[in-house]
Amino acid sequence: MHDDRSLVEARLKRVLDERIRPAVYPESVPLDVAVWNAPGEPVPVAEGLAGPTEPIAVGARWGAPWGTSWFKVSGTVPAAWAGRTVEALLDLGFDENMPGFQCEGLVYRPDGTPVKGLNPRNQWVRVGAPVAGGEKVLLHIEAASNPVILDYHPFLPTQLGDKETAGSEPQYTLARMDLAVFDEDVWNLVQDLEVLGELMQELPVEGARRWDVLRAVGRALDAVDLQDVGGTAAAARAELAGVLATPAAPSAHRISAVGHAHIDSAWLWPLRETVRKVARTTSNMTALLEDEPDFVFAMSQAQQFAWIKEHRPEVYAKVKAAVAEGRFVPSGGMWVESDTNMPGSEAMARQFVHGKRFFLDEFGIENDEAWLPDTFGFAAGLPQIIKAAGSKWLLTQKISWSQTNKFPHHTFNWEGIDGTRIFTHFPPVDTYNCSMKGSEIAHAATNFKDKGVAQHSLAPTGWGDGGGGTTREMIAKAARLRSLEGSATVTWETPADFFTKAEAEYTNPPVWVGELYLELHRATLTSQAKTKQGNRRSEHLLREAELWAATAAVRTGFAYPYEQLDRIWKTVLLHQFHDILPGSSIAWVHREAEKTYAAVAEELTGIIDAAQRALAGDPAGGLALVFNAAPHTRGGVPAGAAATAPTPGTTRSTPREGGGHVLDNGLLRVEIDGRGLVVSAYDIAADRETVAPGAAANLLQIHPDFPNMWDAWDVDAFYRNTVTDLTGLDELTPVTDGVRIVRSFGDSKVTQVLTLEPGAKRLDIDTEVDWHETEKFLKAAFPLDVHAERYASETQFGHFYRPTHTNTSWEAAKFEACNHRFVHLEEPGWGVALVNDSTYGHDVTRTVRDADAGTTATVRVSLLRAPRFPDPETDQGVHRFRHALAPGAAIGDAVREGFRVNLPERRLTGEREVEPLVGVDNDAVVISAVKLADDGSGDLVVRLYESTGGRAKVTLATGLRTAGVVATDLLERPLAEAQVPESDGDGVRLSLRPFELVTLRLARG
Q: What amino acid positions are annotated as catalytic residues?
A: 374
Handedness of CA 875, 878, 880, 881 (dihedral sign): positive
Dihedral angle at the C-alpha atoms of 652, 657, 661, 665, nearest 10 degrees? -30
- Spatial distance between the Cα atoms of 382 and 839, rounded to a whole number of angstroms: 20
- Spatial distance between the Cα atoms of 596 and 609, rounded to a whole number of angstroms: 20
SS3 of 609-644 = HHHHHHHHCCHHHCEEEEEECCCCCECCECCCEEEC
976: left (phi over 0), alpha (psi -120 to 50) or beta: alpha
Helix axes 184-202, 438-447, angle to 10 degrees: 40
- Spatial distance between the Cα atoms of 866 and 772, rounded to a whole number of angstroms: 8
Task: Cis check for the bond before 270: say yes or no (omega within 30 of 0).
Answer: no
Instruction: For 677-709, give the DSSP string.
Output: -EEEEEETTTTEE-BPTT--BSEEEEEE---SS
Q: What is the helix (H) or strand (E) element at residue 37, kind and residue range?
A: strand 32-38
Find out whether 482 and 489 touch, Cβ atoms under 8 Å.
yes
Task: Cis check for the bond before 204: say yes or no (omega within 30 of 0).
Answer: no
What is the b/e burial string over 875-906, where b = at least 16 CB atoms within 10 angstroms of the residue's CB? bbeebebbbbbbbbbbbbbbbbbbbbbbbebb
Find out whether 939 and 917 touch, Cβ atoms under 8 Å.
no
Find out whether 111 and 101 touch, Cβ atoms under 8 Å.
no
Q: Name which of 460, 462, 481 is nearest 471 in CA terms.
A: 462
DSSP secondary-structure letter at 464?
-
DSSP secondary-structure letter at 734?
E
623 phi/psi in degrees, rounded to 5: -80, 130
Q: What is the helix (H) or strand (E) element at residue 461, kind and residue range?
A: strand 456-461
> What's the alpha-carbon Rg for the chain, to the nearest Å?
31
Exposed, middle or buried: residue 21 (CB in 10 Å: 0-12, 13-18, 19+)?
middle
Handedness of CA 576, 580, 581, 587 (dihedral sign): negative
Find out whether 102 and 94 touch, Cβ atoms under 8 Å.
yes
- Spatial distance between the Cα atoms of 388 and 380, rounded to a whole number of angstroms: 14
CA distances from 591 to 101, 529, 586, 873, 877 (A): 21, 12, 9, 11, 13
Beta bridge partners of 817: 842
Helix (H, G, I), strand (E, B), or coil: what is residue 730? Answer: coil
- Spatial distance between the Cα atoms of 317 and 10, rounded to a whole number of angstroms: 48
- Spatial distance between the Cα atoms of 154 and 656, rounded to a whole number of angstroms: 53
Handedness of CA 405, 408, 411, 412 (dihedral sign): negative
Q: Name which of 996, 796, 839, 838 is nearest 378 in CA terms.
A: 796
Helix (H, G, I), strand (E, B), or coil: what is residue 209? Answer: helix
Residue 338: CA count within 13 A, CB half-sphere: 31
CA distances from 296 to 301, 478, 482 (A): 17, 12, 15
